[in-house]
Structure 1
Amino acid sequence: MKKSFIIMMFLALILVIAACGGKTEESKEGANDTEISEATEKSELVIGLIPSQSEGEMQTAIDKLQAELEEKLDRPVKIDYYPAYNGVVEALNYEHIDMAYFGPLTYVIAHDRSGAKAIITQLVNGEPYYHSYFITKADAPWDTLDELLEEKATIDLAFGSPSSTSGSLIPGVELKERGVFRDSDDHDFANVTYTGSHDITAQSVLNGNVHVGAIDSAIFEARIRSGAINEEDYKIIWKSEQIFQYPWAVRPNMDDTTILELQEAFISITDEDILNAFGATAFTTATNEDYEAIRKAAIVDGRMDDDLGGK
């Protein structure tokens, strides 16, 4: 009996030791899981963008932005260019990137398709708004859009990208309301072209390749500030109502902590090269609701199903 009791105690002791060992292993595994989680949180943050100006002109600013974000977020950051809006929308949709820089029109389409969340936008002189301009050369004979449209049959007109808010959507809606433009193949002008970017539009007007061009006011004014173009060379003959500024949007499942860190990092940026590249004087926070007016305009103009193939 005594022998049986000793054997039972011995077996019980073995079970206790085994259980403690299991807990130790679980504890180690839990610690490893925590380390993996922390490592994942500090993994490379990938940002996609379509250059609003020529890619080469923006490269210095992008390099600086990448370096600033890496320092402020304490993690590696990669900024990728995309040749067409559709590419960056799909990249965010499939989580190949974590964040994207959109025009307002492209953003509302991306939100509709993938749930992208606007978290940051830019300020111009303290306001998160910009305008669409129609610009001509300073010595052009027209002082207003009404005057130019009196000669519409002889006018060569340039939009920016087909998917641009200020370079296509808003000025296009204005011309449709005036009954002189239906689409790029059906209009009352001598010729309608799409330059692909705002800086090329400004240069095309200056060179006399077109009579009038639609352009982003913030980028137009930033290029004047930087000395890239001279204000006295141009004339603004039409100005739209306020448009909420370009958003920086993140994938829908990004955690709140990372979103807050990104917002704080952007808001703290003061580098003039970075700000001028995006037509900004500062950055601020944004939400999806800020783009409701653009969403309504896109729906009315039939843009929500755009393939976004252009720049």
Structure 2
Amino acid sequence: MSLNLRRLTLPLIAGLGLLGSQFAAAEEEIDTLRFGIISTEASQNQEPLWRPFLDDMAESLGVEVEPFFANDYAAVIQAMRFDKIDLAWYGNKSAMEAVDRAGGEIFAQTVPENGEPGYWSLLIVHQDSPLESVEDVLANASELTFGNGDPNSTSGFLVPSYYVFAQNGVVASEIFKRTLNSNHETNALSVANRQVDVATFNTESMERLEMAHPDKAEQLKVIWQSPLIPSDPLVWREGLSEPMKTRLRDFILSYGETEEQREKIAPLQWAHFSASDNDQLLPIRQLELFKQRASIAGDDSLDAEERERLLAELDAQLDDLDERLKAREAADAEQAEAGVTTAMAQ
């Protein structure tokens, strides 16, 4: 190739490369942000609760914001996996599935308007039920109909699966006369209407039920409450463009600063949002591994050597999670102390 031809070709190649990158950037820009919303209750009930917040998001970001409702949590996880949604509100268990299997990344966490650092899983029965405790439920399980939560629900499934059932050496699907899986609202109404004997629920949904259906809430009796569950995360797909991530993060983390904004998310039982990341899932990952460990330890079909090998692997993973969780707690404590020191200095 002659020198003159090379001088002409190189700028042309560079120009084509620049043009290609511009096309790629243009393809990355979106005019509609698709927001996934897990099915804690019927979508026709959820849509009006979310609409004011989503409208503010659309106005701030300069794009349409389209809610995505589905009949179960798995559909929202799958939608993120196949890039059908750009971000979603999940519970911690479903967020873990989205992070591990759908290219999701936690970037924020809801802050409840009641000021609590999280919420609690519940077992509920009808107010007139003779059942008063987990022990009563387990003793009479073969005669009871159980309303379990969505398999990807933290408070409706994962937490009670471990604390109520695994720790007592039983599996819910095996001990009850009949087991049904439903969302929180359906479980509560089914108990109130005497269609199931006992069901999973949570404190956030209880507060919503007391507002929406106070007569039904009065028919419920709580017989068990879990340890604290971290507040729900917001998750975006990792492939979302960096400019959009920046704009979205700025909007979410500043939302709730005005009284008008707080009023718009009050029906969702939130006051504002805080920054978060995937480490929020560390306690949930521990629960999942504890549940697996309990299952393997009680599996008589495994020979002793295989059982010990699997348990050792799980114990190593649990030790690693424990170290990571301690490091995070220490960092959070140090940050909080630094904040107090700064405030006192001012």
Would you call these one fold, judging by a TM-score over 0.5?
yes
Q: List aligned pairs for 1:66-85, cutoff 5 A.
A: 66-85=54-73
Distance 2:227 2:146 in 1: 20
Tell whether the 8 Å contact from 2:120 to 2:228 is kept in structure 1 after alignment. yes
CA 1:252/1:32 → structure 2, altered by over 3 Å: closer, same or farther? closer
Tell whether the 8 Å contact from 2:262 to 2:272 is kept in structure 1 after alignment. no
Mean Cα deviation higher: 160-169 or 200-209:
160-169
Query: 1:34 deviation in Å?
Result: 6.2
Q: List aligned pairs for 1:128-147, cutoff 5 A.
A: 128-147=117-136
Q: List aligned pairs for 1:38-53, cutoff 5 A.
A: 40-41=28-29, 43-53=31-41
Residues 1:172 and 2:161 are matched in the alignment: yes
Q: List aligned pairs for 1:1-311, cutoff 5 A.
A: 37=25, 40-41=28-29, 43-124=31-112, 125-179=114-168, 181-184=170-173, 186-187=174-175, 189-194=176-181, 196-224=182-210, 226-230=211-215, 231-267=217-253, 268-269=255-256, 270=261, 272=263, 274-277=265-268, 279-302=269-292
CA 1:87/1:138 → structure 2, altered by over 3 Å: closer, same or farther? closer
Q: Describe the superposition over 1:75-121 as per-residue Cα deviations: whole angstroms up to 9, x where unpaired.
A: 22212223343333233223232112222112112211233111122
Letter in 2 for 1:251: R
Which structure is higher in helix share? 2
Mean Cα deviation higher: 128-137 or 42-51:
42-51
Query: 1:233 deviation in Å?
Result: 2.7
Letter in 2 for 1:51: S
Tell whether the 8 Å contact from 1:42 to 1:76 is kept in structure 2 after alignment. no
Q: Describe the superposition over 1:162-221 as per-residue Cα deviations: whole angstroms up to 9, x where unpaired.
A: 22111111112223235463242x11x333222x21111110110011121101221222
Tell whether the 8 Å contact from 2:190 to 2:196 is kept in structure 1 after alignment. yes
**Structure with larger Rg:** 1
Give me the TM-score of the superposition, normalised by structure 1: 0.76
Q: How many residue pairs get matched?
A: 278
Distance 2:150 2:252 in 1: 26
Distance 2:101 2:18 in 1: 37
Tell whether the 8 Å contact from 1:119 to 1:259 is kept in structure 2 after alignment. no
Tell whether the 8 Å contact from 1:218 to 1:280 is kept in structure 2 after alignment. no
Distance 1:48 1:263 in 2: 16
Tell whether the 8 Å contact from 2:162 to 2:290 is kept in structure 1 after alignment. no
Letter in 2 for 1:56: Q
Distance 2:213 2:251 in 1: 28
CA 1:72/1:35 → structure 2, altered by over 3 Å: closer, same or farther? farther
Tell whether the 8 Å contact from 2:146 to 2:196 is kept in structure 1 after alignment. yes
Distance 1:81 1:63 in 2: 13
| Aligned alpha-carbon RMSD (Å) | 3.2
- Identity rate, percent: 23
Distance 1:78 1:137 in 2: 38
CA 1:181/1:56 → structure 2, altered by over 3 Å: closer, same or farther? farther
Tell whether the 8 Å contact from 2:148 to 2:187 is kept in structure 1 after alignment. yes
CA 1:136/1:272 → structure 2, altered by over 3 Å: closer, same or farther? farther
Tell whether the 8 Å contact from 1:172 to 1:181 is kept in structure 2 after alignment. no
Letter in 2 for 1:138: Q
Distance 1:127 1:41 in 2: 37
CA 1:208/1:250 → structure 2, altered by over 3 Å: closer, same or farther? same
Mean Cα deviation higher: 226-235 or 34-43:
34-43
Tell whether the 8 Å contact from 2:111 to 2:117 is kept in structure 1 after alignment. yes
User: Which structure's relative contact order is higher, taking Cα pairs within 8 Å and 6+ residues apart?
Assistant: 1
Query: 1:31 deviation in Å?
Result: 9.5
